[in-house]
Structure 1
């Protein structure tokens, strides 16, 4: 039977008052606030049964269930789902930071290719927060599939910050290497201001010479040199890749030794620079500039990236790292 039993609180009439659950502009409730609070306190803090609460409050057992539900709806009860791997992840991050000699390591517990941008959102947000950015600061953004996923996923707020592409790739057929589009997407989601780089990754000699005289290009170079932070994809060993930036001589024998790259700065196992004919014309943030960025955050996930991460750290191309727990364990095993 529906309705209110004689022992139940009478339904509230008129506008809620300060004694009701929803005083002011909040949602209305048929129960007084003090009754809802007492029921929630006994249920969650005293572990009292619903029968015990009903007897103590003088209401029916079904009303106790409604009171507890009302407490949650009104915000009197906050339920937290605790990640059981959180402590383990924090310890793992610190171990990896020490072993690699980095400023910081930020880990996601688990990642999946289909949800990579969302999975890495929390550690990327933590890395950005540690940059202590202010409007007008510059943050560099590289190309690559991981940074592309981040830019089109959940990007932390960066209002007034200038996002700057680190490499050319204006008309690259692969979306992972379209640096202007990656920068635009990240700026749109973060409230940052995008800066664009209208150049190919490997221009001709004549085009490169004209770029060096172009004021817009020089503006971008100036932002590279004063950047506060950077979000940098760490590329996999060249031999394992399905695609490379347009114009690179991928068949050149030198790429067989390339364990990876950061902003098209290719490295060998010990972080040494790997150059090739035409590499002096590359439109890329140089190794020297990357080494001077206060928060150069490398992002990479997967066992295939382990040698790439190690070489990027040894080459001083990154000084912080965002990855997941599985990759962190693989790194520690490789370095052991």
Structure 2
């Protein structure tokens, strides 16, 4: 790589930090190891070279390389990696959201009616928040997961509704709690006519947008009341690595069977899927979870950060 290209890469990284992650010029200087004046010039260079418009059009070369390596190793159809070195968690989520929104928009812009199946989670919600509004009432948005906790409350991250509002399209809610109180209770929920109608619609989805969760004390699934502290401890003892739509995945990338399986009401996920399943996840607390989802071939597309990408690529098969 030429000296000019390296400078452009550094300018692009500074632009990501400044315009997307909301970092100050002093923050950028500290994290890139340069003076504040140099950081200011890098941001200015990004603007002068046309790298900054509505979005940053010059990808950081390392991130492009990492994305290509992830695609090749884990059989991904789509992959985008955003810069993450030294960036705080909130800024990192925002960067993934901006990149993810561009990916989502490729489907939402289509004139042909699309069925879009959506999971839940903070990163997915942040990504949908970054979407512009589309006049696409012909599209349908289908929930893949019940948003009701055991106490009857609804999660704040009922993201399919937010996407439907962005497109002005129809919204199909999955009318069930994520985990029913018992196997018999699950059968009652899942045999309801509306439940079957919604899950049949989800099976026809053109694309599925999902998050990748981790499981530990205080994780969103625990904090939002879907699983108890004791259930978290039992899952950790089984070496859980990831959670997707209420399905638990072990460190080997395989489905981890637990007591909760017989009560799960969300749409079934399958490994080595031929469906278009695009995940949005990043950050150090998600490293193991992202790798497990990749290792088990649970997804066909991924929007993540460079440190998560490097972690996944460093793991042995």
TM norm. shorter chain > 0.5 = yes
Match of 2:250 in 1: 268
Residue 121 of structure 2 aligns with which residue?
144
8 Å contact 1:238–1:259 — kept in the other structure? no
Higher mean C-alpha deviation, range 244-253 or range 222-231 = 244-253
**2: CA distance, partners of 1:173 / 1:112:** 33
**Who is 1:102 aligned against?**
76
1:165 has 2:135 as partner: no
| 1:172-193 deviations in Å (ceiling 9; x for gaps) | 78999445x3211122124443
Q: Is the 8 A contact 1:141 1:183 kept in 2?
A: yes
Q: Which runs of 5+ in 1 are unaligned?
A: 1-77
TM-score by length of 2: 0.69
Change (3 A) 1:242 1:124: closer
Spell out the pairing of 1:285-304 with structure 2 (5 A cutoff): 285-288=267-270, 292=273, 294-304=275-285
Q: Is the contact made by 1:261 and 1:308 (CA closer than 8 Å) also made in structure 2?
A: yes
Alpha-carbon shift at residue 128 of structure 1 (Å): 5.1
Q: Is the aligned partner of 1:80 residue 2:69?
A: no
Counterpart of 1:251? 230
- Higher relative contact order structure (alpha carbons within 8 Å, sequence separation ≥ 6): 2
1:114 maps onto 2:93 in alignment: no
Contact 2:146 2:177 in 1 (8 A): yes
Task: Tell me the residue number matched to 1:328.
Answer: 309
Asked whether 1:209 is paired with 2:187, we answer yes
Between Structure 1 and Structure 2, how many residues are aligned? Answer: 257
**Alignment partners' CA distance in 2, 1:176 and 1:104:** 32
Task: Please say if residues 138 and 226 of structure 1, whose CA atoms lie closer than 8 Å, have aligned partners that are also in contact.
Answer: yes
Q: 1:208 deviation in Å?
A: 2.1
> What is the CA distance between 1:164 and its match in structure 2?
1.4
For structure 2, the residue ranges without an aligned partner over 5 or more in a row are 1-47
Distance verdict in 2 for CA 1:314–1:235, change over 3 Å: same
Instruction: Give the direction of change, closer, same or farther, for the CA distance of 1:239–1:324 in structure 2 (3 Å limit).
Output: same
**Shift of residue 249 of structure 1?**
4.7
1:93 and 2:93 correspond: no
Counterpart of 1:49 in structure 2 is none
Give 1:223's match in structure 2, choosing from 201, 214, 218.
201
Structure number with larger C-alpha Rg: 1
Q: Which residue of 2 aligns with 1:46?
A: none
Q: Against the structure 1 CA distance between its residues 234 and 279, is the aligned structure 2 distance closer, same or farther, given a 3 Å change threshold?
A: same
Could you say if the C-alpha distance between residues 104 and 81 of structure 1 is closer, same or farther in structure 2, counting changes exceeding 3 Å?
Answer: closer
